[in-house]
Amino acid sequence: MWTRVAVGGLTATVLAISAIAIWGEFRRRDAEIAKRDAEKTAKAFEQASQIASENQKRAEKKADEAKANTAEVLMEAGSTALANGHTFDAMHRFASAINILPNSSPAQVMMRQGLGFLARETPRLEAIVEHTDEVNIAAFSEDGTRVVTASYDKTARIWRADMGILVAELKGHMDSVNTAAFSGDGSRVVTASYDKTARIWRADTGALVAELKGHKGVVNIAAFSVDGSRVVTASGDNTARIWRADTGALVAELRGHTAEVNSAAFSGDGTRVVTASWDKTARIWRADTGALVAELKGHTNAVFTAAFSGDGSRVVTASNDGTARIWRADTGALVAELKGHMYLVYTAAFSGDGTRVVTASRDWTAQIWNVEAVPGDPSVMPLWVEVLTGTELKGGAVRSLSLEEWNQRKDDLRAKGKAAPPADWFTRAIVKTPTR
């Protein structure tokens, strides 16, 4: 019996060991399978990651290509806009291209430099100032630090030019303010109004200095003399008037026009005033007495503006007859007629050196005229002829000039403030050899 028990126990033990061995083998195989599955999963994940990475790179490449194409289109559009004179549109497109291009890329750096140049060379809006109705005129002070505006809202206003901050509001007129202008030193402003008055104001506080009363019609314009001591006004009552700027006292009344006076202006030295009228004339007056110096007759319709040249020797007028004309300021003689506009000419003015006139017309154009050879001084034209031809015209006789004589006349021309031909003109352009 004990033998059978021992054999049975041994058999059980062997079976148990065999079972454990079989179970261990299954565990090992399961582990290997799990490992292979894990490796497959890892490899699949790695492949998927690689595919995703490649897809992302391709997508990024396509996005970069799209950005590059968009930037190229923007740059081309900007270049076209710039070529057509649309600078602000060009700057907007270039800035959009910069935002698209890769940071610090050569193309972006180049565009930034180009945009910086355009920004420096392009006007930019610094300020917008407002009234409560139409603004009739705006003008700078002589030093450029302030701007004065005049409006249908019955006010004029003074602003800081750099920031558009209101400095003073000039209130008191009972109707639309037509014009406003600073004195030369910038300390005062003069305004002209439909209420038949002009007024002088302090430019720092807006306080009223003087009210210029007496006109029986709308005051179209008011302007200071260069030294600021007087003001001239032009009115719908057919007169212009000169006033003391400190007290507002009337100095002289300029009577003679038979229709509304559109404009009035002092000569540079303040000794004369020129007026322009609907009666088809302009007139030059003494500023101290109001005596008539000359009547500029010849226009066939209203004269809108008249202005002196810088040296005071000539006057230019602009007319509803479609012409501008230049006159001698001492005698009122017609010197030149500037024909070319297809419609009325609103304004005309000399350049600072008196060599050019610019005219503005309702025909949609402004025209610039070279009037350097148009004399104010009657001795200039003969000098021009002698210098340009190398000959002297005297008493009907023609005589060739020597080089010394030619140089002397050239010096005389320069002394009168006129440009002279170059030094080699005598030998290069005057064919005939001068005789003594």
**Higher pLDDT among residues 253 and 112, named by residue:** 253
* DSSP letter, residue 116: H
Q: What is the pLDDT of residue 28?
A: 74
User: What's 135-370's CATH class?
Assistant: mainly beta
273 contact partners, CB below 8 Å, separation of at least 6? 232, 240, 242, 254, 264, 265, 266, 267, 284, 285, 287
Residue 281 has pLDDT above 70, yes or no: yes
Domain limits, the chain: 2-121, 135-370, 380-429
Extract the tokens encoding 84.
């057509």
Q: At 220, which helix (H) or strand (E)?
A: strand 219-224
Confidence grade of residue 412 (pLDDT, cut at 50, 70, 90)? confident
Confidence grade of residue 41 (pLDDT, cut at 50, 70, 90)? confident
Instruction: Please choose, from the candidates 300, 291, 167, 306, the residue with its C-alpha nearest in 3D space to the C-alpha of residue 234.
Output: 306
* DSSP letter, residue 201: E
Q: How far apart are CA 165 and CA 168, in angstroms?
A: 9
Instruction: Please choose, from the candidates 274, 273, 272, 276, the residue with its C-alpha nearest in 3D space to the C-alpha of residue 262.
Output: 276
Task: Quote the Cα angle for 296-273-326, to 5°.
Answer: 35
Confidence grade of residue 436 (pLDDT, cut at 50, 70, 90)? very low
Instruction: Report CA dihedral (163, 165, 170, 173) to the nearest 10 degrees.
Output: 80
| Mean pLDDT estimate for the chain | 84
**Higher pLDDT among residues 33 and 149, named by residue:** 149
Confidence grade of residue 206 (pLDDT, cut at 50, 70, 90)? very high
Q: What are the tens digits of pLDDT across the range 333-376?
A: 998 899 888 999 999 999 988 889 999 999 899 999 888 765 55
Q: What is the pLDDT of residue 94?
A: 77
Are residues 156 and 176 in contact, defined by beta-carbon separation less than 8 angstroms? no
Confidence grade of residue 2 (pLDDT, cut at 50, 70, 90)? very low
Are residues 260 and 308 in contact, defined by beta-carbon separation less than 8 angstroms? no
Residue 24 has pLDDT above 80, yes or no: no
Which parts of 85-218 fold into alpha helices (H)? 87-100, 106-121
Q: How far apart are CA 237 and CA 176, in angstroms?
A: 17
Q: What is the pLDDT of residue 162?
A: 87
Helix, strand or coil, per DSSP, at residue 169: strand
Q: What is the pLDDT of residue 186?
A: 95
Helix, strand or coil, per DSSP, at residue 349: strand
Angle between helices 106-121 and 2-83 (to 10 degrees): 30
Confidence grade of residue 147 (pLDDT, cut at 50, 70, 90)? very high
Extract the tokens encoding 151.
């409006």
Residue 159 has pLDDT above 90, yes or no: yes
Confidence grade of residue 102 (pLDDT, cut at 50, 70, 90)? confident
Average pLDDT over residues 269-295: 96
Q: How far apart are CA 70 and CA 97, in angstroms?
A: 8
Q: How far apart are CA 139 and CA 146, in angstroms?
A: 9
Residue 44 has pLDDT above 90, yes or no: no
Confidence grade of residue 17 (pLDDT, cut at 50, 70, 90)? low
Q: What is the pLDDT of residue 163?
A: 86
Radius of gyration of the chain (CA): 44
Confidence grade of residue 298 (pLDDT, cut at 50, 70, 90)? very high
Q: pLDDT above 90 covers what percent of the chain?
A: 49
Q: Is the pTM value of this prediction over 0.85? A: no
Q: What is the pLDDT of residue 376?
A: 54
Q: How far apart are CA 224 and CA 67, in angstroms?
A: 60
Which range among 6-10, 160-164, 265-269, 386-390 has the greatest average pLDDT?
265-269
